[in-house]
C-alpha cells in the first residue's frame, strides 16, 4: 500500500457534482493498493498513520497525533499512486490491484483506521471519478509505502 498523507485545515470530495464527504482539521489520505498488499500491510499502515505526530502542539512543534488533536480523516482510493513511468510517456498501472482485491482492502483499511483512531473515517467512492479539494496545512505531506516500512 502506498499512501500520501496530507495534514489539512479542511478537505472534501465530490462525485457527480454532489458532495460525498467533508472534513475539518485532520488528514486527507490518498491510498493506492497493489496486488501484493495484505491485511498485515493495512494494519501496519493504519497504526502508523494514527500515531504520526504531525500536528502542532502549543509551542508550534509537530508533536501531536491525529487522535490527540481529535482530527478528522478522509480516505480517497487512488490507483494512480502505483503508476510506472519507466517506459514511454503513458503511465502503466500494472502494479495497482484489480477491484476484486482492492475494494475489500480499501474497506478494511477504513474500518481499521476508524478502530485505531476511535473516530469515524470518511471516504470517497472506490472507482468513481472524484474531485477532491483540500487546504494543506503547513504544508505537511508525507508518503508512506508499506513495502519500505519507513
Active site residue 80: yes
Q: Which of 67, 80, 101, 141 is catalytic?
A: 80
In a domain, 150, yes or no: no
Q: Looking at residue 127, which CATH number applies to its domain?
A: 3.50.80.10
Query: Would you give the distance in Å from CA 132 to the centre of its chain?
Result: 12
Question: Given pLDDT bands bounded at 50, 70 and 90, which one contains residue 145?
Answer: very high
Domain contains 85: yes
Domains of the chain: total: 1
Domain that holds residue 141: 2-145
pLDDT confidence bin for 139, thresholds 50/70/90 = very high
Provide the β-strand partners of residue 21: 13
Split at pLDDT 50, 70, 90, the class of 94 is confident
Q: Is residue 109 part of a domain?
A: yes
Amino acid at each position: 500500500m502506498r499512501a500520501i498523507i496530507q495534514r489539512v485545515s479542511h478537505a472534501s470530495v465530490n462525485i457527480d457534482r454532489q458532495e460525498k464527504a467533508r472534513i475539518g482539521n485532520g488528514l486527507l489520505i490518498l491510498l493506492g493498493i497493489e496486488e501484493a498488499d495484505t491485511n498485515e500491510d493495512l494494519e501496519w499502515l493504519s497504526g502508523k498513520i494514527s500515531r504520526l505526530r504531525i500536528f502542532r502542539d502549543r509551542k508550534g512543534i509537530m508533536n501531536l497525533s491525529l487522535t490527540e488533536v481529535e482530527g478528522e480523516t478522509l480516505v480517497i482510493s487512488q490507483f494512480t499512486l502505483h503508476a510506472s513511468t519507466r517506459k514511454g510517456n503513458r503511465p502503466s498501472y500494472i502494479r495497482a490491484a484489480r477491484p476484486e482485491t482492492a475494494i475489500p482492502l480499501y474497506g478494511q483499511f477504513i474500518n481499521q483506521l476508524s478502530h485505531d483512531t476511535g473516530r469515524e473515517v470518511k471516504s470517497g467512492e472506490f472507482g468513481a471519478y472524484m474531485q477532491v479539494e483540500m487546504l494543506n496545512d503547513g504544508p505537511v505531506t508525507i508518503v508512506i509505502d508499506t513495502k519500505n516500512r519507513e
